[in-house]
Amino acid sequence: MSTTPEPGTLAPATIAVAAGRPARAQGGHVNPSVPMNSTYVSRGVVTPDELSYARGDNDAWHPFEEALAALEDGGAGTARRADGDASGPDAAATAILFSSGMAAIAAIFSLVPDGGTLVLPRHAYQAGMVLARQISERHGVTLRYVDIADTDAVVAALDGADLLLVESPTNPMLEVADLPAVLGAARAAGVRSVVDNTFATPLGQRPLVHGADVVLHSVTKYLAGHSDVVLGALVTRDAALAATLRDHRTLHGAIAGPFEAWLALRGLRTLALRFERAQATAAELARRLADHPEVAEVRHPSLPGDPGHERAKAQMTGFGAIIGVRPRPRPGGADDAAARADAVVDAVRLWLPATSLGGVESMLERRRRWGTEATTVPEDLLRLSVGIEDVEDLWADLDRALRA
């Protein structure tokens, strides 16, 4: 039995450290162990909360799930409502750990019935969009793409829909949705809503507080934070929905390994420090890039002129650590925009050319090098994931690469 502080009694940075610990006992463990079991002692009729086989439930997952649920809960929920109802806006949050972010996305898309309608951002995680297109082809699901920052367009697209998927900020364009407005409209229309909170993390925003039915994470990114595990997670306050998502995980075998779950929890302990440093560095780099002679465009919500600045300022507690940069074409140069961006990637020495994000190391890539990326993403857009290195070292490397 682990111990998780009551939601709302501690700051998020403290919850990240304190939640999901073993029960306190003289001589007891400070950290949860790594239980290496494929099965458990079990006889008779199996009860829903009994550990019997590790694919259905696994005590290796519980500490991380408890900690993430406490972080996303945001203090708005209580342990249980007085009437005993375990669902709704006053219920405690439940987190469900998956083998990858894509496994979590697949579980979400399974909620859309055959012939149903899915509303999703025109810019979002490209592998998820590929899966959406496959589901559309195989199961007759209608896909309605929207500019997630255009609230009127999102609300209009909800008519007759079954599920709304929101990314905010979006990957890789950093568009910011009006979460209270679009999630409120979805609830009023009877449309289930899911918010991918990978970029913002629970320290940047808590979509459940704004009315989301489910929060989605690629745990691989900021939550684990060290580019050493591949995991995903879903968080909800709806007990029946949580049971459905757990069933999907069990029947599709989308389960996390014990050691990966343990690594993710260890990474979560330093999330507040890592994310605070990365956000501050990203804001400073974005400010300098906006004045750089070799930069044509910079996207980061911290910039006063960024289209998402005011909205992010109103509903987020930070601006995140992802930057979008488009290098300025060289006058009279023969290289096209993509080649110019690729040249910057080739020239860096400290920044890592890599496709992931959210790790302690700073990474960058040209997003359109992926053939499945949305065609509305500029060919020369560089996505920068800012890590925790010294800001001056990161700037010197980036400035040199842009001028090379």
Active-site residue, from 122, 144, 192, 221 = 221
Contact 72, 195 (CB under 8 A): no
Contacts 24+ apart (CB under 8 A), 53-58: 54/255, 55/250, 55/253, 55/255, 56/250, 57/246, 58/255, 58/256, 58/258, 58/261
221 is catalytic: yes
CATH class of 2-268: alpha beta
Let me know: does 43 contact 51? Beta carbons within 8 Å: no
- pLDDT, average across residues 102-113: 98
Q: Where are the alpha helices (DSSP H) in 9-99?
A: 12-18, 62-73
Query: In the predicted model, is pLDDT for residue 116 greater than 50?
Result: yes
Torsion angles phi and psi, residue 296, rounded to 5? -90, -35
Q: Give per-residue pLDDT as tens, 358-376.
A: 999 999 999 999 999 999 9
Task: Say what the pLDDT of residue 82 is.
Answer: 32
Q: Do the domains 271-403 and 2-268 match in fold? A: no
**pLDDT beyond 80 at 81:** no
The answer to whether residues 223 and 204 touch, using CB atoms and an 8 Å cutoff, is no
Active-site hit among 57, 162, 196, 380:
196
**Can you give the residue ranges of every domain in the chain?**
2-268, 271-403
- Choice among 125, 145, 326, 366 that is catalytic: 125
What is the strand order of the sheet 295-299 is part of?
A: 295-299, 322-327, 382-385, 363-366, 352-353
8 Å CB contact between 231 and 266 = no
CATH fold of the domain at 271-403: Aspartate Aminotransferase, domain 1 (3.90.1150)
The reply to whether 55 belongs to the active site is: yes
Rounded Cα–Cα distance for residues 102 and 336 (Å): 33
pLDDT in tens, 172-187: 999 999 999 999 999 9
- 236 pLDDT higher than 90: yes
Residues in Cβ contact with 360 at an 8 Å cutoff, skipping those fewer than 6 apart:
225, 226, 227, 274, 387, 388
